[in-house]
């Protein structure tokens, strides 16, 4: 595994993040196209198939390397784990809200639009709920540091099974997702050891197991078992392990470089994909015939991913880099070098 370190990361982690972020963009793109045409595409079944593990994998990897950082003093910890995410949330809420405000003003009026804007600071706006929730997870995990991990993990699993529906996204998503983030933190040695074993395991022997998992996951989704809060945990964890195994195989083979690049810039994509997804969807839905709805959804997905990366490349050495690089003025603690908006990564 020593050869798998690249720019301070384990290659398979970047590949796994790349897979997850593309699945997330594909979900939003496909569902958006379906709403626009008033019908399901053939990709809908694939989107549903990925639902049990798509976000659980993202959150588990987010907590995977927290052990190396959780003992930092509160000021430094809050700077990198809370203020860092808060900066990008506030910035991109304003960007996304500015894009949607004209339509909202027409529908809700100026007062209603202003109310929705203020509400976005307690009720996460649009696709940005993920980074909002990450900051909450980091704070809660730090506060619970003195509690035995099995107790916290059991409590998180119970919250997930109870699946409260309060109408407040932060509360409901916290109950649903915290178990996966905390699993990444608590079970990190086991996950990394498993990835190490897979790295040295013959890929031809793993392929049948991955095919069998994909089929069983499909059956579980089709029956609804893998989507119910009271029964989905085993399928979520199985999916996470499958993504890890597949990512390790891709990283080892050298075929996962493009996915790894997307993974290293996963939050860049997460922040900016909606800027390119929406206009591309509107244009293609008008121009493309209905029979090409699947290709339209794939094209919208590509536009979201590639557009976000191109924007990052265009601004990274300009004054507009504040879109993805937090300025020193918004830091609690002095830090050398630039901080790009990324998920937590392994320490050397």
Q: What is the pLDDT along the chain (348 residues), one digit of tens a residue?
A: 344 334 334 799 999 999 999 999 999 999 999 999 999 999 999 999 999 999 999 999 999 999 999 999 999 999 999 999 999 999 999 999 999 888 888 888 999 999 999 999 999 988 899 999 999 999 999 999 999 999 999 999 999 999 999 999 999 999 999 999 999 999 999 999 999 888 887 677 788 999 999 999 999 999 999 999 989 999 999 999 999 999 999 998 889 999 999 999 999 999 999 999 999 999 999 999 988 999 999 999 999 999 999 999 999 999 999 999 999 999 986 544 444 444 443 332
Q: 250 by DSSP, 3-state: which? A: helix
Q: Give the residues across from 10 on adjacent strands.
A: 5
For 175, the token pair is 């109950």
Any residues with CB less than 8 A from the CB of 319 and at least 6 apart, and which? none
pLDDT (0 to 100) of residue 334: 56
pLDDT (0 to 100) of residue 345: 38
pLDDT (0 to 100) of residue 342: 46
d(CA 163, CA 157): 10
What pTM does this model have?
A: 0.91
Q: Domain limits of the chain?
A: 2-330
pLDDT (0 to 100) of residue 126: 85
pLDDT (0 to 100) of residue 106: 86
Which segments of the chain does DSSP mark as H helices, in order?
Answer: 11-37, 44-63, 74-78, 84-119, 129-143, 149-162, 169-186, 188-199, 203-223, 233-253, 257-264, 266-287, 293-315
Burial 19-45 (b: 16+ CB within 10 A, else e): bbbbbbbbbbbbbbbbebeeeebebbe
DSSP state of 325: B
Q: Tokens 């089929």 — which residue?
A: 215
264: closest CA among 4, 14, 65, 84? Answer: 14
Strand 5-6 and strand 9-10: pairing? antiparallel
């Amino acid at each position: 595994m020593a050869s798998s370190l690249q720019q301070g990361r384990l290659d398979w982690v970047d590949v796994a993040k790349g897979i997850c972020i593309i699945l997330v963009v594909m979900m939003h793109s496909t569902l958006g196209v379906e709403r626009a045409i008033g019908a399901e595409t053939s990709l809908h079944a694939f989107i549903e198939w990925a639902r049990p593990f798509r976000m659980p994998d993202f959150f588990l990897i987010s907590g995977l390397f927290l052990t190396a950082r959780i003992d930092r003093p509160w000021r430094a910890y809050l700077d990198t784990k809370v203020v860092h995410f808060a900066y990008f949330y506030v910035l991109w809420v304003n960007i996304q809200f500015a894009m949607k405000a004209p339509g909202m003003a027409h529908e809700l009026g100026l007062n209603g639009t202003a109310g929705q804007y203020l509400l976005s600071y307690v009720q996460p706006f649009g696709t940005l709920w993920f980074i909002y929730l990450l900051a909450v997870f980091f704070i809660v995990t730090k506060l619970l540091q003195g509690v035995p991990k099995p107790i916290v993990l059991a409590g998180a699993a119970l919250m997930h099974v109870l699946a409260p529906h309060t109408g407040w996204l932060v509360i409901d998503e916290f109950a649903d997702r915290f178990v996966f983030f905390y699993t990444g933190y608590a079970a990190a040695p086991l996950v990394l050891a498993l990835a190490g074993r897979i790295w040295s395991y013959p890929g031809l022997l793993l392929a049948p197991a991955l095919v069998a998992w994909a089929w069983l996951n499909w059956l579980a989704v089709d029956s609804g078992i893998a989507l119910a809060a009271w029964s989905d945990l085993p399928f979520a964890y199985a999916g996470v392990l499958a993504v890890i195994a597949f990512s390790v195989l891709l990283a080892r083979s050298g075929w996962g470089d493009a996915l790894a690049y997307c993974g290293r810039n996963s939050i860049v994509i997460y922040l900016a994909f909606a800027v390119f997804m929406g206009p591309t969807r509107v244009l293609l839905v008008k121009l493309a015939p209905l029979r090409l709805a699947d290709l339209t959804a794939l094209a919208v997905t590509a536009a979201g991913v590639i557009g976000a990366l191109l924007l990052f490349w265009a601004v990274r050495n300009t004054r507009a880099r504040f879109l993805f690089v937090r300025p020193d003025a918004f830091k609690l603690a002095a830090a050398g070098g630039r901080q790009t908006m990324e998920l937590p990564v392994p320490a050397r």
